[in-house]
Structure formats: structure tokens, C-alpha cells
């Protein structure tokens, strides 16, 4: 999930639509709402956040360092003012990157992945047996051959791969894929997606790489 902070509802809706096409969930805030949320939200919910995008906040400044007190997720400023002074000011405030608008959504996702790899030592891909799972939106590969997946199933596989060796609960998967504020989708949809994903992986691999235990959650195994 990506958190967007911007005063303009139209901008929030635009980003939500564009990220949704890439299978990435978003949550949107005005700056005054965001400040209260980021200081009070549960640690478990923050684990679902891939990055924070800070846009036009009007007169209400958003402190990247306050975000950093709660999470190591990348903080990226979206700038509409193409001046060196503004860019330097944003970096001095503590953001990890400054992206000048207009920008393609895939470039934003690529920059997020690059920052996460650098800061959190994430790899570009994870290998589980003959399966290679990429973290930048590319289709996974099995024995070097791409495995086309619907975007939600691909995102679930990426999330499981990024947490390899750890179990993740159904709620954690749901929050990462759909966002913590999506009331229009039932959490049980995760079970349906994982069931379809397991079938496709089993057909290509010859075994089921997703270990599930009731009440404990899921994890990828070789």
C-alpha cells in the first residue's frame, strides 16, 4: 500500500486510479489528517505501507522525520515547482527522493523499489527453488519462463516473497494488497486469490510453495 498526502481530492483520486491499474493499493490523506494518523496508527498497519508520497500540502507542512520515527518506508516528495531551491529544500526536510511532475506511475514504483533495496537491503528479486519473484512489477519466472498472473495474485506473491521465511496473516496480506481503508472488499477475498495462485504455481512447479496454517497465516517455502 502507498500512502498519498495531498490537499486536492481530485489529485488523490487520480493517483488512486493510476496505482490501482498497477495492482497497488493506496490510502489518501489531507495533510492535517495525515499528521494525526501517522502518529497514532498501529505498528501492524504501518508494515503494510510501501512508501509515502507527499504532494501539495498547502500551509500544513508534513514532517518526513516524524514519519521516520514510525517507519523506514521511503518518503518521496512530488514536486510541481521545478527549481533547484525547492528541490534542495525538500531534501533538507528529510525526504528520500524528489520527483518532478508530471511523472509516470511506473517510474514512481521503480524509484520506490530502488530506495527500498538501498535502504532496507531488499533485492531486485527473490529466488525460491526454480521460481524467481521480481519486486518491480515484472511477471515471476519459473525455470526461466514467465508465469503470467492477474495483478492481485502477482502482488500477493511479491508480498509473500518479500517476507520470505516469515508467516504473514490474512489481514496483513489484505492490508498490503487492498489497503487498510478499503471497506468495499471483504478480507476473505485473500483466500480466493491465494487458492488460484497456489493452483497455478503447483501446475508449473509440481509442488505447492505456499505453506498455510490456520490462524497463523502463509509463508513461501522452497
Nearest one of 158, 113, 108 to 4, comparing CA atoms:
108
Looking at domain 125-220, its CATH class is mainly alpha
Give the C-alpha separation, 115 to 76, whole Å.
10
Name residue, grid cell 521465511.
165
Q: Which three cell numbers stand for residue 196?
A: 488460484
Residue 186 in contact with residue 194, Cβ under 8 Å?
no
Name residue, grid cell 528520500.
96
Query: Under CATH, which number does the domain 2-120 receive?
Result: 3.40.50.2300
Q: Where are the domains of the chain?
A: 2-120, 125-220
Segment holding 124, helix H or strand E: none
Residue 101's contacts (CB-CB under 8 Å, 6 or more residues apart) are 78, 79, 80
Q: Looking at residue 91, what is its pLDDT?
A: 92
Q: Looking at residue 82, what is its pLDDT?
A: 82
Nearest one of 207, 203, 177 to 189, comparing CA atoms:
177
Question: Pairing between strand 145-146 and 141-142?
Answer: antiparallel
Each residue's pLDDT, cut to its tens digit, for the chain (222 residues) gives 899 999 999 999 999 999 988 888 899 999 889 988 988 888 878 888 989 999 988 777 788 888 988 888 999 999 988 889 989 999 998 999 999 999 999 999 999 988 887 765 555 678 888 999 987 778 999 999 999 999 899 989 999 988 887 888 888 898 888 877 666 778 889 999 999 999 999 999 999 999 998 878 999 987
For 110-155, what is each residue's pLDDT tens digit?
999 888 877 655 556 788 889 999 877 789 999 999 999 998 999 8
Residue 26 in contact with residue 179, Cβ under 8 Å?
yes
Q: Which three cell numbers stand for residue 66?
A: 516524524
Q: Looking at residue 150, what is its pLDDT?
A: 93
Amino acid at each position: 500500500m502507498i500512502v498519498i498526502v495531498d490537499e486536492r481530492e481530485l489529485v488523490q483520486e487520480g493517483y488512486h486510479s493510476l496505482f490501482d491499474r498497477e495492482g497497488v493499493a493506496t490510502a489518501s490523506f489531507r495533510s492535517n489528517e495525515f499528521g494525526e494518523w501517522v502518529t497514532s496508527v498501529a505498528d501492524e498497519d504501518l508494515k503494510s505501507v510501501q512508501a509515502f508520497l507527499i504532494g501539495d500540502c498547502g500551509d500544513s507542512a508534513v514532517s518526513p522525520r516524524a514519519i521516520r520515527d514510525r517507519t523506514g518506508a521511503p518518503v518521496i516528495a512530488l514536486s510541481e515547482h521545478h527549481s533547484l531551491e525547492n528541490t534542495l529544500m525538500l531534501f533538507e526536510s528529510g525526504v528520500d527522493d524528489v520527483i518532478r511532475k508530471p511523472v509516470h506511475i511506473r517510474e514512481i514504483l521503480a524509484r520506490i523499489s530502488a530506495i527500498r533495496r538501498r535502504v532496507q537491503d531488499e533485492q531486485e528479486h527473490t529466488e525460491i527453488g526454480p521460481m524467481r519473484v521480481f519486486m518491480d512489477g515484472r511477471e515471476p519466472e519459473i525455470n526461466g519462463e514467465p508465469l503470467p498472473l492477474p495483478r492481485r495474485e502477482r502482488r500477493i506473491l511479491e508480498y509473500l516473497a518479500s517476507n520470505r521465511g516469515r508467516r504473514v496473516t490474512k489481514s496483513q496480506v489484505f492490508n498490503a494488497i487492498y489497503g487498510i481503508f478499503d471497506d468495499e472488499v471483504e478480507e476473505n477475498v485473500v483466500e480466493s486469490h491465494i487458492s488460484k495462485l497456489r493452483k497455478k504455481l503447483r501446475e508449473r512447479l509440481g509442488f505447492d510453495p505456499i505453506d498455510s496454517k490456520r490462524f497463523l497465516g502463509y509463508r513461501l517455502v522452497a
